Structure 1
Amino acid sequence: MLKPSETVLVVVDVQGKLARLMYNSEAMHQQLITLISGARIFDIPILWLEQLPDKLGPTSEELRLVLEGFSPIPKEHFSGWACDEFQQALNNTGRKQVLLCGIETHICVYQSCRDMLDNGFDVHLVADAMGSRTAENKALGLQMMGEAGAKLTNVESLLFELQHHAVGDSFRALLKLIK
């Protein structure tokens, strides 16, 4: 089971014009907003990656708004793990459960996932908060990561799993968020 005290959210490369080219981009952006907002309810650390931001542009504006207070980590490799700053930030959280989301599912998300799995992290793929330019590439990316040992989930399932108990302030905040 996912536990807020053991979990970190990793947002991969939802930037520039490329983010708008994802299959079903608007729905993906809405799920990302819900996921990030939910992570904030549970005080889950958020690590936010940007691939070559000087070339690909910044993270989508609506996501930057909900990521306020966090700073992006720029990277050059497809895998976030290849970035020392990201590795250090992830290890510094002391958490081993990773909620993984972003773009593109079959490239940067996939390579980041494989590297985190290879380094002992328990990776949970937030499928409805990921995207690729085609539905087929997204599906294949999810399949490849699942076969490598990552677990598949979605925004609502994981938020209620983190909540675990249908009472309290966080439960009321969660209900407002998903309605």
Structure 2
Amino acid sequence: MISSQDTVLLIIDVQGKLAQIVYESAAVEQNISKLVRAAKILGVPVLYTEQYPKGLGHTVAPLETLLAEEEPFEKIAFSCCADEGFMEALRKLKRNEVLVTGMETHVCVYQTANELIDYGYNVHLITDAVSSRMKENRDLGIHCIEKAGAFLKSTEMVIFELLRVAEGDAFKAIAKIIKE
């Protein structure tokens, strides 16, 4: 089981027009938003990337607002791990559990998850917080990431795993997020 002390949330390339045309885009964005808000309550660091923002645009406005305190890692390689600044930031956190979300599942998410696993990180793919333009590519990406060694989880599953108990201020705040 993961804990808020050993986990980081990674959001990969939820940007521009692509974010609007992926399979189940509204649900994916809503789940990522829930994860970000829960992470902030529970003290889980958030890292996020943007693939070639000059061409693909920046992170979608609702998420960009939630992530205003963070700086995105701009990248041109599909895998986040190819960006030395990203890897340096991840290593500095000294957390081995990585919650992976974003777009597109069969490209950037897939390549990042595989490299993180190769580097010894435990990858938790949040299946209702990833997508691709085509459902088939999303499903294939999820399958291949699982075969590589990732744990498949849902947004609610991860939030409650991080929370652990149904009491206190954190629980009350997160219960409101879950009900949305």
| TM-score range normalised by the length of the shorter chain | over 0.9
Q: Offset at 1:54?
A: 1.0
Q: What secondary structure is seen at the aligned counterpart in 2 of 1:44?
A: coil
Task: Describe the SS at the equivalent of 1:4.
Answer: coil
Match of 1:57 in 2: 57
Distance across 1 between alignment mates of 2:92 and 2:55: 29
SS of corresponding position for 2:5:
helix
User: Structure 1 residue 44 and structure 2 residue 40: aligned?
Assistant: no
Partner amino acid, structure 2, of 1:7:
T
The one-letter amino acid paired with 2:29 is: H
CA distance in 1, matches of 2:24, 2:4: 29
Secondary structure of 1:101 counterpart: strand
Percent identity at matched positions?
Answer: 42
Partner of 1:78: 78
Alignment partner of 1:153 is 2:153: yes
Q: CA deviation at 1:21?
A: 1.1
Q: How far has the Cα of 1:170 moved from its partner?
A: 0.8
Q: 1:102: how far off?
A: 0.2
SS for the counterpart of 1:8 is strand
What TM-score do the two structures reach when normalised by structure 2? 0.98
Runs (4+) off by over 2 Å: none
Separation in structure 2 between the aligned mates of residue 33 and residue 163 of structure 1, nearest angstrom: 17
| Deviation digits for residues 48-98 of structure 1 (CA, Å, limit 9, x no counterpart) | 100001111100001101112011000010000000000000001000000
Matches of 1:116 and 1:110 in 2, distance apart? 10
CA distance in 1, matches of 2:177, 2:68: 17
User: Which residue pairs with 1:6 in the alignment?
Assistant: 6
Distance 2:18 2:111 in 1: 18
| CA distance in 2 between partners of 1:18 and 1:176 (Å) | 29
Residue of structure 2 equivalent to 1:112: 112
Return the alpha-carbon distance in structure 2 between the equivalents of residues 23 and 120 of structure 1. 30
Instruction: Tell me how far apart the structure 2 counterparts of residues 175 and 68 of structure 1 sit (CA, whole Å).
Output: 23
User: When the two structures are aligned, how many residues end up with a matched partner?
Assistant: 179
Q: How many Å separate the matches in 2 of 1:107 and 1:75?
A: 14
Give the alignment's Cα RMSD to 1 decimal. Answer: 0.6
Secondary structure at the aligned position of 2:120 is classed as: coil
- Alpha-carbon distance in structure 2 between the residues aligned to 1:89 and 1:170: 26
Aligned to 1:102, the other structure's residue is in SS state strand
* Partners of 1:172 and 1:27 in 2: CA distance: 23
Moved more, 16-25 or 114-123: 16-25
Q: Which amino acid aligns with 1:63?
A: L
1:103 corresponding residue in structure 2: 103
Q: What does the per-residue CA deviation read over 1:134-169, in whole Å, with 9 as the maximum and x for residues that have no partner?
A: 111111100000000000001101000111111111
- Aligned equivalent of 1:178: 178
Code of the residue aligned with 1:176 in structure 2: it is: K
Give structure 1 stretches of 5+ with no counterpart: none
